[in-house]
């Protein structure tokens, strides 16, 4: 069965015969489960919307809630919400880095999640997120598209790299953000950007949309795919949460491996991902 998802614009365009009402009801139920941070079966939502539904671009597919994205990427509580939708501290409002403007929508699209994954690489480099916003905004204008950081072209195309270099220099980020000049003529990726590019599987087209990614750079066996297992981290097709829960209740690794058709290494890698992810959540996160 093909999984279908809807953007808010698509929902608004389906008003005939009560379709819009049914779509909004199903979407609210899905959004409520995401908002509470509970894993939810995306297929149920998709089946509800199968009739008269509209297929949207993969990057526009709503996959996570804010808290869920924090958990998957090992970010401190509230980090995804601040980066994606902005925040207020005292009397000062901070604009989002990922979205063009705050929307109040707690659903995170796949494109937004991919860009948050990149930003996560810079928290250890002490790059303030407020400094990155003008760079991202400039890339939207220069390269076109809503999610400039979620396309391979931005990172792999020579001309696009030059655009990125100019954009970051204009806001005085020097070599911190995305690209560094390796020589008089060569422009390469910064270490943080290289880790991000290596963590993503691109679709191979001219613009190279991100199809899946590794949520933690040190554990490449664990991936997130918006078209598999609701975007939850998986290893060889099995949800990491399921494996680690079996481990927590005392099931031996060899028994878990046999039950799910995995290797013992797969099971222990899933456990390691969970430990590393939980450890990263307690680290300070740049606003």
**Secondary structure in 3-state letters for the chain:** CCCCCCCHHHHHCCCHHHHHHHHHHHHHHHHHHHHCCCCCCHHHHHHHCCCCCCCCCHHHCEEEEHHHHHHHHCCCCCHHHHHHHCEEECCEEECCCCCCCCCCCCEEEHHHHHHHHHHHCCCCCCCCHHHHHHHHHHHHHHHCCCCHHHEHHHHHCHHHHHHHHHHHHHCCCCCCCCEEECCCCCEEECHHHHHHHHHEEECCCCCCEEEEECCCCCCCCCEECCCCHHHCCEECCEEHHHHHHHHHCCCCHHHHHHHHCCCHHHHHHHHHHHHHHHHHHCCCCCC
Burial 154-180 (b: 16+ CB within 10 A, else e): bbebeebbebbbebbeeeebeebbbbb
Give yes or no for residue 233 having a pLDDT over 50: yes
Which range is least confidently modeled, 2-11, 44-53, 149-158, 178-187?
2-11
pLDDT band at 247 (very low <50, low <70, confident <90, very high): very high
pTM: 0.78
Phi, psi of 14 (to 5 degrees): -110, 75
Which range is least confidently modeled, 4-13, 86-95, 238-247?
4-13
pLDDT band at 191 (very low <50, low <70, confident <90, very high): confident
pLDDT band at 179 (very low <50, low <70, confident <90, very high): low
Across 133-137, 139-143, 212-216, which has the greatest mean pLDDT? 212-216
Please give the Cα distance from 77 to 156 (Å, whole number).
32
Please give the Cα distance from 254 to 260 (Å, whole number).
10
Please give the Cα distance from 287 to 27 (Å, whole number).
30
Please give the Cα distance from 172 to 125 (Å, whole number).
15
Give yes or no for residue 280 having a pLDDT over 80: no
87-89 and 210-213 strand pairing: unpaired
- Average pLDDT score over the chain: 79
Q: In 10 A of CB 280, how many CB atoms? A: 18
Q: Tell me: the pLDDT tens digits for 41-86?
A: 454 544 444 433 444 589 999 999 999 999 999 999 999 999 999 9
């Amino acid at each position: 069965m093909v999984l279908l998802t809807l953007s808010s614009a698509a929902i608004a365009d389906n008003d005939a015969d009560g379709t819009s009402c049914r779509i909004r009801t199903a979407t609210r139920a899905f959004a409520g489960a995401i908002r509470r941070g509970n894993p939810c079966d995306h297929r149920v939502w998709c089946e509800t919307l199968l009739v008269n539904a509209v297929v949207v671009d993969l990057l526009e597919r709503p996959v996570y809630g804010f808290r869920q994205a924090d958990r998957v990427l090992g970010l401190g509580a509230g980090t995804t919400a601040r980066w994606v939708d902005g925040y207020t501290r005292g009397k000062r409002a901070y604009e989002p880095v990922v979205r063009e403007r705050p929307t109040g929508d707690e659903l995170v699209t796949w494109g937004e999640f991919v860009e948050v994954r990149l930003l996560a690489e810079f928290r250890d480099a002490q790059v303030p997120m407020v400094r990155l916003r003008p760079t991202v905004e400039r890339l939207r204008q220069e390269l076109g598209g809503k999610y400039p950081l979620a396309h391979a072209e931005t990172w792999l195309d020579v001309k696009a790299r030059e655009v990125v270099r100019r954009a970051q220099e204009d806001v005085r980020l020097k070599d911190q953000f995305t690209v560094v000049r390796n020589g008089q003529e060569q422009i390469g990726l910064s270490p943080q950007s290289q880790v991000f590019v290596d963590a993503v599987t691109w679709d191979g087209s001219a613009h190279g949309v991100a199809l899946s990614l590794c949520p933690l750079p040190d554990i490449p066996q664990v991936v997130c795919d918006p078209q598999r297992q609701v975007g939850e981290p998986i290893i060889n097709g099995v949800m990491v949460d399921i494996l680690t829960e079996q481990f927590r209740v005392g099931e031996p690794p060899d028994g878990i491996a046999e039950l799910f058709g995995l290797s013992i290494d797969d099971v222990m890698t899933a456990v390691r991902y969970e430990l590393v992810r939980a450890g990263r959540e307690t680290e300070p996160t740049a606003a």
